[in-house]
Amino acid sequence: MNLIRDLRRKNRLSQAQLAKLCGVTQTAVSQWENGHTAPDTATLALLADYFQISMEQLLGRNAGERERHLIPVLGYVRAGLPAQAVQDILDYEELTPEMARSGEHFALKIQGNSMLPRFCPGDIVIVRKQPDADSGDIAVVLINGDDATVKKIIKSGAGLHLVPLNPDYETILYTRRQVEELPVTVLGKVVELRGKF
């Protein structure tokens, strides 16, 4: 991690100043620079943002190495788009090159029991950003600009049905008028589930 040392010196920061910026001890910064340890993913994101370089560059990956595609894991989404502030990012997940080429993605940590037994609390879903989804798809849907929900969507003449997989929860129907006025917005389609133990 000599790159961290080089970037710190180039930006005229002391180890103590960089430690304060990252919310860690000066010893931690020293260990990064000596190659004894590495920053966690959230700190890497903070450093990459501060120094205006990619996480791949910060990790010192050469052009000949396999390119990594990291996406943020969010605890929630709001305002039509995933929150991008570093403090809202729980972790990072890696995509295959094929998946990365298929569009822009984010990851969301499942909360609640409405999608049991297939989706458990703490599981991570990989979501491809798109403004609509087909009837029968599992999607991330934003209601009234508040936190989004993961549900199976069914479209009908009556409107949009948000269907939980857990039979203990009821399907919610939003009429076409409600979809327009609330609004009810599809943020993306769930394309992969990553179970966590």
Active site residue 151: yes
Determine which one of 20, 114, 152, 156 is catalytic: 114
**Separation of alpha carbons 85 and 28, rounded Å:** 23
The pairing of beta strand 69-74 with beta strand 89-95:
antiparallel
Determine which one of 54, 151, 156, 196 is catalytic: 151
Q: How far apart, in Å, are the Cα atoms of 30 and each of 4, 58, 171?
A: 10, 16, 54
Residue 190 backbone phi and psi in degrees, to 5 = -70, 120
- The C-alpha angle with vertex 167 and arms to 159 and 196, in degrees rounded to 5, equals 105
Return the amino acid letter for 96: T
Which residue, among 174, 70, 164, has the nearest Cα to 115 in the 3D structure?
Answer: 164
Active site residue 114: yes
Catalytic residues: 114, 151
